[in-house]
Amino acid sequence: MRLLIFGLGYTGSALARHLAPGGWRIAAVTRDGRDDSIAFADTDRVTFEIANASHIVSTVAPGETDPILAAFAPQLGEARAWLGYLSSTGVYGDTNGAWVDETAPIGTGRRMERAQADAAWLALGARVFRLPGIYGPGRSPLERAARGDAARIHIPGQVFSRVHLDDIVAGITAGFDAPRGAYNLADDLPAPQSDVVAYACSLLGIAPPPLVPLDQADLSPQARAFYSENRRVANHKAKRVLRWRPLYPDYRLGLRALSASTSPTSTSTAPAAASADQR
């Protein structure tokens, strides 16, 4: 089995670590060819790997366009490999807190480029995994709370979905035997960001930061735009078709496991819950 990964970020690296002990031959493409990966500009080598891979996964978020499709769409279209793409539940846009599944239209969110890339990978026959906020080892509210830079933004009625890193990897590998199409990989309990931060603080035995109204919060324009959307992400299709069950069906279980297995004084500078743009 030959896996080609475009992008060795947080999730791409975790997928490689998970599969390597099983005898997979794994090649990765990165912008600069770091960590023994293939440089993106080495088009001959990348084309060879595409032609010889049994499985291909792209974790690369689009800029104005999807750089992987812009450079290698013809080769990917001719590949015999299983194709996977990590997208974002942001393609659904704001639903005013309503549940959304894979039958909903996409393209109403903050980033049209993300929805265009999502649709393009689907047209190639990929399994597209739509991800909400990602958290896991070294990248969770525990680290931010321990550093003292966690914030609790108070927006009545607003919730977000999230997913643990291990559950993403499990969903991707479950998709190896699944039909083409889109799959939401999210936990079972959408929750306010403020509740998640408060629970992380309780695990660390520290007082939670005060609730701050959105209009008084010191946020970047990007973060403020993030808080403009409110939705609950349904995962029933992944459970039914992939037979996927999240190991951490809610943030409490996920944070408790992380608290038990990692040092609360981690010096990680990663964000508390990465969007799919930060895979």
* Domains in the chain: boundaries: 2-278
**255: its two tokens:** 């944070």
Q: Do 219 and 176 contact (CB within 8 A), yes or no?
A: no
Which pLDDT score, from 0 to 100, does residue 3 have?
Answer: 98
Q: What is the phi/psi pair of residue 161, to 5°?
A: -100, 160
Mean per-residue pLDDT, 17-45: 95
pLDDT of 276 above 80: no
Compare 266 and 48 and report the one with higher pLDDT: 48
pLDDT band for 262, please (50, 70, 90 cuts): low
Q: Render pLDDT for 187-237 as a digit per residue (tens, 0 to 9).
A: 999 999 999 999 999 999 999 999 999 888 888 888 888 888 999 999 999
pLDDT band for 273, please (50, 70, 90 cuts): very low
Which pLDDT score, from 0 to 100, does residue 145 have?
Answer: 96
Q: Render pLDDT for 93-152 as a digit per residue (tens, 0 to 9).
A: 999 999 999 999 999 877 899 999 999 999 999 999 999 999 999 999 999 999 998 999
> Any bridge partners for residue 99, and if so which?
232
259-266 CB contacts, 8 Å cutoff, 24+ apart: 259/142, 259/203, 259/204, 261/137, 262/137, 262/138, 262/142, 264/142, 264/146, 264/203, 264/204, 265/146, 266/138, 266/142, 266/143, 266/146
pLDDT of 22 above 60: yes
Mean per-residue pLDDT, 168-194: 97
Mean per-residue pLDDT, 33-40: 92
**Helices marked H in the chain:** 10-19, 43-52, 67-78, 112-123, 141-147, 165-174, 193-204, 221-226, 236-241, 251-261
In the block, tokens 């069906």 appear at: 249
> How far is CA 86 from each of CA 94, 117, 171, 186, 235, rounded to the nearest angstrom?
20, 10, 11, 13, 15
Tally Cβ neighbours within 10 Å of residue 33.
Answer: 15
Q: Do 59 and 81 contact (CB within 8 A), yes or no?
A: no
Class assignment of domain 2-278? alpha beta
Which pLDDT score, from 0 to 100, does residue 44 have?
Answer: 97
Which pLDDT score, from 0 to 100, does residue 198 have?
Answer: 97
Q: Render pLDDT for 48-94 as a digit per residue (tens, 0 to 9).
A: 999 999 999 999 999 999 999 999 999 999 999 999 999 999 999 99
Q: Whole-angstrom Cα distance, residue 72 to residue 268?
A: 34
Q: Do 17 and 6 contact (CB within 8 A), yes or no?
A: no
Q: Whole-angstrom Cα distance, residue 70 to residue 53?
A: 19
Q: Whole-angstrom Cα distance, residue 90 to residue 100?
A: 11
Compare 91 and 267 and report the one with higher pLDDT: 91
Mean per-residue pLDDT, 238-265: 90
Highest-scoring range by mean pLDDT, 43-47, 105-109, 273-277 = 43-47
Short-list 118, 55, 121, CA closest to 92: 118
